[in-house]
Structure 1
Amino acid sequence: MAAINQASNISTSSSRRVITRASIHLPKISTANLGIFAPKIASNISMVEEEMHKLSKITLKKPSSDARVYQDHEVMEKLYAILEAVSDRVEMHKNIGEQRNNWNSLLLTSINTITLSAATMAGIAAAITTVPGAPLEVLKLASSFMYFAATGMLVIMNKIQPSQLAEEQRNAARLFKQLESEIKTKIAITNPTLSDVNECMKKVLAIDRAYPLPLLGVMLEKFPAKTEPAVWWPDTTRKGVDFRYKNGWSVELEEEMREIIRVLEVKDKADYLRLGEKALKLNKALAIAGPLLTGLGAIGSAFLASSSQSSWAMVLGVMGGAMASVVNTIQHGGQVGMVFEMYRSNAGFFKMMQESIESNLEERRENGELFEMKIALQLGRSLSELRDVAASSSRKGEDIEEFGSKLF
């Protein structure tokens, strides 16, 4: 048994020695082996330096990217600010247009009521001139006072032309709504730039100048010496721009657009300017006749007690008021001022189309096929009808029979 234990101890000690030898045995590294590992270390360092250089480049580019993002954000903020102002203008022009339309109705009703009441008093006073103790002087004074009041109110009403003011505000509200939709489209489907912001600002200010809100100082001339088209768009022509691309344009399309310009100039715009001139002359005549008749009515009422002039005074006092009511109803009830403004705005619409076509012929800012479709839609025609109008104009020369627009 002792022999067995001694043998196991010997084997255990020998195994421990083997493990000890294995754990302390290390490979020897010579100086020659250092040359093998050195190139690998150097290549790893160069790779790290290259990556650090790339990161430094990315870091340098980051501020420019942030600046671009900031610039885009600033452009969007400006467009939204303009959009908010345009939306506010839509409501302002809409509300003020309704208010001025109410002015037209209320002033016309009030002036006609006053005028007819004065004529009635003048008739009663003429009928009781021979009645002793009749209140003749009171009726004369009341009739004359009412005639003078109606004359003053009518002069003011003819000066400001409420029906024309209401039409101006309706046009402005429509144009601002159109601009509002245009800005929303730019924000939704395009990448707006500062040039878009400047263009929108110019359009807002151009509409403000064309259809001002205040009455004092900046109100449009209601009786101009000559009828001119309304202008509510900024000047966007840029001379000397050389476009090297076709952009959907062709020689045939250019000729077609030039013929459309000629048709709009000779027929549509000229016709509305002619109608506007007639409406302006009628409005001037009625604006003079109304206060003149009420003034004559006031003079007739003042001379009712005179025995030598009683017949003429009665005619002026009664008939002056009746005729003045008819004239006022035709002028303001028929809204002759509004009709003049409508003709002027229609002429301006065709002038805007002419300038738009001329600008695109020079610069080709829009795609030709898309622009042709827009022109056809604005004139209420199909593409084939638009081309037929241009072809007919080129064949007939100056003798153009058909109008360019089918809408109005």
Structure 2
Amino acid sequence: MACMMASSSLIMNLSLSSSSSNQIRPIVKAAINIPRRVANISLPGLRPGGFVAENDNLLYRSTDKQLSPIKIISTVNRSDPKNNPDPVLMAKLYAVLEAVSDRVEMHTNIGDQRTNWNSLLLTSINALTLAAATMVGVAAVSGGGAPAAALKLSSTVLYVAATGMLSIVNKIQPSQLAEEQRNAARLFKQLRSQIQTCISVGNVTAADVKEMTDKVLALDKAYPLPLLGVMLEKFPAKVEPAVWWPEQGRKQYGKGNNNNNNNNNKGYNGWNGNLEKEMREIVNVLKIKDEEDYIKLSTKALNLNKMLAVAGPVLTGMAAVGSALVGSHSVGGCAVVVGVLGGALASVVNTLEHGGQVGMVFEMYRCNAGFFKLMEETIESNLMEADLEKRENGEVFEMKVALQLGRSLSQLRDLAAADDIDEFASKLF
């Protein structure tokens, strides 16, 4: 009974003090009067500075006229980037992701379009050339008169049109353009997966956003969409590997890292002396065997493409001249031979060049050489990083290198330990 009387005797007097002109939030003060005979009663949760709650709930202050809500400050720690990442950085990364997804669609659609260009132009030019050759033959056996003149004129026009179209097609190389867009779509899909993984892992930093943005811009530069002004050179003077990644920063070894390199048994962040030696040997094999071999193949494909690109318009041009001179007594039957044979050979050359997609083969070899160059730079960038904490984990990195080369870990180590370099590093292509 005494407890009930003590509880009923509790009187709470709330007084609100007005804040100064520089303060916005009111200060809540609570005064509690407890009788001396029940002074052992404790009231947990009340603090001198006011009420604090873990959730963003509302309390109400009592006044003489009405109840008005008081906002309670949450005590949840929002500074941890893993629990609550920076929304601005996440918004930027999602913007990059949207741009990458859009580029995947653009390069895929344009790649399909340029594949159609190659097939349609190949068929159209061959049809024009063969039709002109047929007209030359018919005009030669039909004798003189208006029909022969009409056939001669028609064949000459068709040959001239085929020559102009061949010159344009051989300049832009639709099969090579289509291969460029296929490579770009594949690389943008790979970049999209990297961004999605980064978002899933969390803890996004400004460096991650900058890295992904730089990769997008590097890919845009390596595989441009328009033709006029920025199209890649289809017949370069020197063959070099394709480059679609931003320049990687490199750091020299510090003085304190030599101990880590000499210790083969103990490693840090998955790295030790044996692994570093293995990676250097892999880089050496990639440079001497794989990259050099694909550069040679690219050079051969380029030289063949140059020869075919010149031969096609030359043959159709000669055939056009021959068709115009059919029936002339000064040249005799040579004009007919040139007109018919030139058109037939031009069709063969055009089919070999664009039907065989020699430009696509050149771009494929060049891209493969770029793939090996990227691996070399990635390995060297890790090896030249002075701070081992900033390197990628050694065990994970070794597994990635092995998978990219189509090898198991044991096969990769056997390749690095071999005295003579008698095989290629990659088993994929």
Common topology (TM > 0.5): yes
How many residues get paired?
A: 355
Deviation at 1:126?
Answer: 1.2
**Equivalent position of 1:227 in the other structure:** 239
**Equivalent position of 1:151 in the other structure:** 163
Q: Following the alignment from structure 1 to structure 2, what is the Cα–Cα distance between the partners of residues 70 and 379?
A: 38
TM score, norm. by length of structure 1: 0.82
Q: Which has the larger radius of gyration?
A: 1
TM score, norm. by length of structure 2: 0.78
**Equivalent position of 1:316 in the other structure:** 338
The amino acid across from 2:303 in the alignment is K
Q: Following the alignment from structure 2 to structure 1, what is the Cα–Cα distance between the partners of residues 428 and 269?
A: 29
**Equivalent position of 1:360 in the other structure:** 382
Q: Indicate whether 1:337 and 2:351 are aligned.
A: no
CA contact (8 A) 2:85 2:202 kept: no
The amino acid across from 1:142 in the alignment is S
CA contact (8 A) 2:252 2:384 kept: no
Aligned alpha-carbon RMSD (Å): 2.6
The amino acid across from 1:222 in the alignment is K
CA contact (8 A) 2:282 2:425 kept: yes
Q: Following the alignment from structure 1 to structure 2, what is the Cα–Cα distance between the partners of residues 352 and 54?
A: 59
Q: Indicate whether 1:390 and 2:410 are aligned.
A: no
CA contact (8 A) 1:128 1:134 kept: no
The amino acid across from 1:292 in the alignment is V
**Equivalent position of 1:281 in the other structure:** 303
Q: Following the alignment from structure 2 to structure 1, what is the Cα–Cα distance between the partners of residues 96 and 76?
A: 28
Q: Following the alignment from structure 1 to structure 2, what is the Cα–Cα distance between the partners of residues 227 and 76?
A: 40
Deviation at 1:307?
Answer: 1.2
Determine which of 237, 259, 266 is the counterpart of 2:249. 237
Q: Following the alignment from structure 1 to structure 2, what is the Cα–Cα distance between the partners of residues 313 and 60?
A: 97
Could you say if the C-alpha distance between residues 391 and 54 of structure 1 is closer, same or farther in structure 2, counting changes exceeding 3 Å?
Answer: farther
CA contact (8 A) 1:89 1:173 kept: yes
The amino acid across from 2:49 in the alignment is M
Q: Deviations over 1:209-234 (max 9, x none)?
A: 11000000000000000110000011
Deviation at 1:52?
Answer: 3.4
Greater relative contact order, per chain length (Cα 8 Å cut-off, separation 6+): 1
Three-state SS of the structure 2 residue aligned to 1:115 is: helix
**Equivalent position of 1:109 in the other structure:** 123
More strand by share: 2
Q: Deviations over 1:127-174 (max 9, x none)?
A: 123xx5451111111000000000000000000000000000000000
Deviation at 1:260?
Answer: 0.2
CA contact (8 A) 1:301 1:313 kept: yes
Q: Indicate whether 1:52 and 2:49 are aligned.
A: yes
CA contact (8 A) 1:148 1:298 kept: yes
Q: Indicate whether 1:269 and 2:270 are aligned.
A: no
The amino acid across from 2:394 in the alignment is G
Determine which of 213, 224, 238 is the counterpart of 1:201. 213
Three-state SS of the structure 1 residue aligned to 2:384 is: helix
Determine which of 88, 96, 101 is the counterpart of 1:87. 101
CA contact (8 A) 2:156 2:321 kept: yes
Stretch moving more, 236-245 or 277-286:
236-245
The amino acid across from 1:239 in the alignment is K
Q: Indicate whether 1:405 and 2:417 are aligned.
A: no
Stretch moving more, 93-102 or 361-370:
361-370
User: Structure 1 stretches of 5 or more lacking a match?
Assistant: 1-36
Determine which of 92, 114, 137 is the counterpart of 1:123. 137
Q: Following the alignment from structure 1 to structure 2, what is the Cα–Cα distance between the partners of residues 339 and 116?
A: 27
Deviation at 1:238?
Answer: 3.4
More helix by share: 1
Could you say if the C-alpha distance between residues 334 and 188 of structure 1 is closer, same or farther in structure 2, counting changes exceeding 3 Å?
Answer: same
Q: Deviations over 1:213-262 (max 9, x none)?
A: 00000000000001100000111223257597821101000000000000
Deviation at 1:61?
Answer: 11
Deviation at 1:311?
Answer: 1.4
User: Structure 2 stretches of 5 or more lacking a match?
Assistant: 1-34, 53-71, 261-267
